[in-house]
Amino acid sequence: MKNIYFLLLLFLISSCENIKNNNMSLVTIEKQAFGKTVDGNEVHQYILKNKKGMEISVINYGGIITSWKAMDRDGIYQDIVLGFDNIYDYETKNPYFGALIGRYGNRIAKGKFSIDDKNYNLATNNDVNHLHGGTKGFDKVLWDVDEILGDSSASLVLKYMSSDMEEGYPGNLNVKVIYTLNNNDELSVIYEADTDKTTIVNLTQHSYFNLSGDFNEDISNHDLKINADSFLPVDSTLIPTGEIRDVIETPFDFLQPKKVGRDIEMNNEQINYGNGYDHCWVLNNYGDGVRFVASAYDDSSGRLLEVFSDQPGIQFYSGNFLDGSLKSKYEGNYDFRSGFCLETQNFPNSPNENSFPSPLLKPGEKYLSETIFRFSIK
């Protein structure tokens, strides 16, 4: 009888250890209140946390990543994305911090495009041009959210139905974005969409990174690499001219890691137009699926961010329009170049440039794209 009790005890101990180990492998999701919009709609925050300690917070307003805590070489976790700690600032002051962007990320010249000889007019919310989906793009809508827990990852499935002619775009567009955090410190972002009328689509994620974890420091000392032999020159309103230009012997050569600040003050027409970098690079090996496209490294913390995507372009924005007027979620304000963006996407103004990859989505087709953000220490 004693042997039976002893074996039963061993079984229970083993079972508890298995449960403990299984729980340790899970990425968890915690849902919290994040206030109400000015219209009285409740906003919720979803916190994904993996077993290593990486923590990513997402709100259903704009699909915004409000916080992204990553470990430095000393094992200290710090927030490495710019943002706010309240919904009011996201509604009223937000320069797209952490947001999902659509229907069309980046700029469309003069807010005009045509499909099958029919002309469409969009809001000109960026000087004379259309930017990031208009006055109320996907960054300013409430998304439906489902939670999915796996053995070694967790996902947030965000859904939104953009109605026909919303912000001037044709077609009822069903959009799904899936954020998945795994235990390898990777965040996958999958974009899906379908339409009942031919339309244009270009979705992206607009997090502002500062890998130092100190938002009072600018990003000039970050080492940036972009896997692109060429970039898109722009005019004075930041619309691509249609030319595809070689990066060699220009400030836009990031084929090998280079300090962001090394050439950013160079007297160069393209740099002057953007007051720094605000350009799209033509990524190498388009058509090969998800591949390495860019990396950023901060030597002070040891944090390395690698970006993988199936998209043809990446917009590197060096935070040139941050001016210190926005209060940080911690101490101080967001000053000039205190964050940078790496926005994987189709080329700006593609609807009006036949030589660029087509952004058209037709009924019966599916828009599908993936970008992966991978963190490590070196």
Residue 132: inside a domain? yes
Predicted confidence (pLDDT) per residue in 250-272, tens digit:
999 999 999 999 999 999 999 99
Amino acid at 153: S
pLDDT at 8: 35
CATH of the domain at 350: 2.70.98.10
Q: What does the pLDDT look like over 99-151, one tens digit per residue?
A: 999 999 999 999 999 999 999 999 999 999 999 999 999 999 999 999 999 98
Q: In what order do the strands lie in the sheet with 303-309?
A: 144-149, 153-162, 173-182, 186-195, 367-377, 303-309, 291-298, 223-226, 258-259
Q: Which of 55, 130, 132, 206 is catalytic?
A: 206
What pLDDT does residue 104 have? Answer: 98
Specify if 20 maps to a domain.
no
Full residue range of the structural domain in which residue 91 is found: 30-377
pLDDT of residue 17: 43
Q: Return the amino acid letter for 371.
A: T
pLDDT, residue 100, reads 98
Instruction: Give domain status of residue 190, yes or no.
Output: yes
* Residue 206 annotated in active site: yes
User: Does the structure show a pLDDT above 50 at 5?
Assistant: no
In a domain, 169, yes or no: yes
In a domain, 180, yes or no: yes
Specify the pLDDT at position 24: 52
Which secondary structure element, helix H or strand E, spans residue 270, and what is its range?
helix 269-274
What's the pTM?
0.93
Q: What percent of the chain has pLDDT over 70?
A: 93
Among the listed residues 166, 343, 353, 370, the single catalytic one is 343
Assess whether pLDDT exceeds 50 at residue 45.
yes
Query: In which element (H, E) is residue 181 found?
Result: strand 173-182
Answer whether residue 243 is part of any domain: yes
How far is Cα 361 from Cα 359, in angstroms, rounded to an integer?
7
The total of structural domains in the chain comes to 1
Q: Which helix (H) or strand (E) holds 18?
A: helix 2-25
Position 25 scores a pLDDT of 60
Q: Looking at the domain assignment, is residue 228 inside a domain?
A: yes
Q: Per the domain annotation, does 19 fall within a domain? A: no
Lowest mean pLDDT, pick from 14-23, 196-205, 280-289 = 14-23
